[in-house]
Amino acid sequence: MVLQGGLLNRREEPVPLKSISVTLSIREFVAGVSATLNYKNEEEVPLETFFVFPMDDDSAVYSFEAEMDGEKIKAELKEKAKAHSIYESAISNRRQAFLLEEDKYSKDVFCCSVGNLNPGSNVALTLKYVQELPLEADGALRYVLPAVLNPRYRGSGSFEDSCLDMKTPVVPLEDLPYTLSMVATISSQHGIERVQSNCAFSPTKYLGEDKTSAQVSLADGHKFDRDVELLIYYSEVHTPTVAVEMGQPRDNSDGFMKDPSAMVCFYPNIPETQSPVVSGEFFFLMDRSGSMQSPISKQVNSQLRIEAAKETLILLLKSLPMGCYFNIFGFGSSYEAFFPNSVKYTQQTMEEALRRVKLMQANLGGTEILTPLQIIYRQPPVEGHPLQLFVFTDGEVADTFNIINEVKRNRLRHRCFSFGIGEGASTSLIKGIARVAGGTSEFITGKDRMQSKALRALKYALQPAVEDVSVTWKLPAKLSAKMLSPEQTVLYKGQRLIVYALLSGTMPPAEATGEVYLKYTFQGKSFDNRVTFSLQPKPDDNFTIHRLAAKSFLHAKDMGFRDTPANDKKDVLKISIDCGVISSQTAFVAVSKNSNKPVQGPLAYRDIPRPVLLGAASVMPQRCSGGLDKAHAFGHRLKKMCMFLKEPSLQMACCPTQSTILETHCTVFGENHLVQLISLQNADGSWCLDENLAGILGKSLEDLQAAVPVKDASSLSWATVLAVVWLHSNAMQMKGEWELLEKKARDWIHIHAASIMQELVKAAIALIKSSVDPAIFGI
């Protein structure tokens, strides 16, 4: 709510933060970001303000500076307790000071404190960071500027020293009192095909005829209702590369920055396999907290998270191989398991699981994932069936380090594949649990489909293991490589691998080259990928590669302010300060050098509001236990917001317990014929010839029975061929979601109807009036 006095916070006081401006520079697959927070004190007293905001877990924050009244102050990175002491001392002595720190419980939440901001003063705080850009399945590089920080469910335990416990005001999007602007410059030697975004952007402006450089800018009026996402498509992205960056030998005689650093990018050429793994113990851990009743995005007709989750579980269930083991857990404030222990995948167990999936609701309260994880890890392993864990959550959890550490403790017995659902999912949680357990992570926002991303992860899980992975270097005499990235033990077909190293010793002449090898064994055969590169290091004022290397090291060692082991804590602190990259153990602090003009007057405290999406509010446990008036940090704005909750789905997002009054029926998927068809498939891959199948095919059961081309042909064989032809005729745009279960169907046909398959396929194509090539059946 904006009153006549200007922009106000929850106590109807002017809000000092006026705007956020971002300059983004993307070179190949690395992003450099400069974000400036512009403050103005419009009051008559000095202020101290706090602003809590999200950051991507992969961001290496390396610079923080303030510009105020003609004075530029560059912050220093200090041990966290010392930084706080310097800041508090400066505030007590009425000097202007600034503090930037990572939250103690999650790497993807930051807090910026501005102390003793004089009346009438303007200050611009600029933080800079670099990060690797992940590669999507379609070849796009994905950059996300986090703009949404949903309330995080706290559960039990104390979070008094968390940034998220500062009780900063949370306001409806239309009342947010500051703006966001962004300009992005993109460059690639391979050429830029196109740039896409989930937000309104200016048309792509190419800065040269060869299309190796381009610029886009965010349209005015971004509402903080979604993270700002860019998808960048280059003409070629799968080229192995090595970049060598010059160090700082004069300023760091014995530190991390002294030697040149190398960044190696591999695209392992793992062969296709026709015999995927048929063993495994699959656990699917599905978020059923109240916030899962929200839409995946703010876009019109966006699917509810819980409905997308149910469809995804059906696809996963139908795609599992016969003979494996599985179980499904739902979690919220409590948890529910489909079976007491994992069960063998059979027709009976699949049908029971399918029945329970269709009855699932987002009705389990908050988001407490730790207990069901511990229950899963305590279950006895099934011999010969390695554990594969799939975690689906909107990631609204406060203590992410505790969960990541639990997964890490069990990393030797399983792989973890994680999925962040909706805007504002914790990148620290989603990326962290996959990273420590050798899996992959995915985020589902905007028009993304959870179904396709989950099935892609299942394909990775079913790939035969890549073994004996190693990276070796062939360098001139007196030069050696010290690996900084964690030892790589898992590789997946189609994925990129990035490793970092320091090159120490005597650098050879400019024309010298080196070689680096990625070696691995796959199905008994040895492979190696080799890259030859120039050993001439290139200067970079931002030391991008060194800082990305430091971040890679910190990912492996930094397990949070409380939980990092003592030996690792020492290494984390040294690397963090040497490279200037913030960690859980450090913070940036800046104090005005102008000590001749102490701040006058009593200091007032102001919190900067942050936005909240309607559905995200359900993670706040106070709202259902004590009514809206008792929910801290919402006040009258939340009442105003809830006046607009007319739709039942939105009412459930406001109070998840209401969702229990809804009945879920087997027809929950409505007119989605693809999901209906998949729901009918048997565990062994076949279909039954019945009225349900006939209805999806648009025929009567009598017509299907009369069209069987071979006397005494099995009705299962005929139905299965019809279903496969229908998939290829009507759902090719979603092939990634059904190709595993379709392969299971084709394998079944080859086993049970090989002698008559040609006649069945020809008749099915004619009956459905399809143009499908019979070759899909291997004919």
Q: In which residue ranges of the chain is pLDDT below 70?
A: 1-15, 148-175, 251-253, 274-277, 398, 595-598, 600-671
Nearest to 584 by CA among 568, 596, 604: 568
Backbone angles phi and psi of 414, in degrees to 5: -160, 170
pLDDT at 637: 26
What pLDDT, on a 0 to 100 scale, did the predictor assign at position 193?
A: 94
Asked if 382 and 345 touch (Cβ cutoff 8 Å), the reply is no
CB 469 within 8 A of CB 488: yes
> Can you read off the two tokens belonging to residue 255?
């530190």
Return all residues near 592 (Cβ < 8 A) that are at least 6 apart: 68, 71, 73, 90, 95, 96, 97
Q: Which amino acid is at 257?
A: M
Measured between alpha carbons, how far is residue 614 from residues 165, 167, 297 in Å? 20, 18, 11
Rounded CA gap, 467 and 384, in Å?
17
At a CB cut-off of 8 Å and minimum separation 6, what does 267 contact?
238, 239, 240, 496, 497, 529
Q: What is the pLDDT of residue 253?
A: 65
Residues 157-216: tens digit of each pLDDT:
544 566 655 555 556 666 677 888 999 999 999 899 999 998 899 999 998 888 999 999
The count of other CB atoms within 10 Å of the CB of residue 384 is 10
Q: What three-state secondary structure class fits 196?
A: strand
CA distance 617 to 396: 10
Q: How large is the angle between the packed helices 757-768 and 715-730, nearest 10 degrees?
A: 50
R_g of the chain computed on alpha carbons: 28
Sign (positive or negative) of CA dihedral 665, 671, 674, 680: positive
Question: Are 499 and 440 a contacting pair, CB within 8 Å?
Answer: no
Q: How far is CA 594 from CA 44, 69, 96, 122, in A?
A: 21, 11, 9, 16
In terms of DSSP H, where are the helices of 285-346?
A: 305-319
Is the distance from CB of 590 to CB of 598 less than 8 angstroms? Answer: no
* Strand partners for 744: none
| Amino acid, res. 259 | D
Take residue 668 and report the two structure tokens written for it.
Answer: 């929950």
Taking residue 202's Cβ as centre, other Cβ atoms within 10 Å add up to 12
Report the alpha-carbon distance of residue 407 to residue 430 in Å, rounded. 12
Q: What angle do CA 78, 80, 83 make, to 5 degrees?
A: 60
Q: What local confidence, expressed as pLDDT, does residue 600 receive?
A: 67
CB neighbourhood size of 354 (10 A): 16
Residue 152: predicted pLDDT: 57
pTM for the structure as a whole: 0.85
Contacting residues for 712 by C-beta, under 8 A, at least 6 apart: none
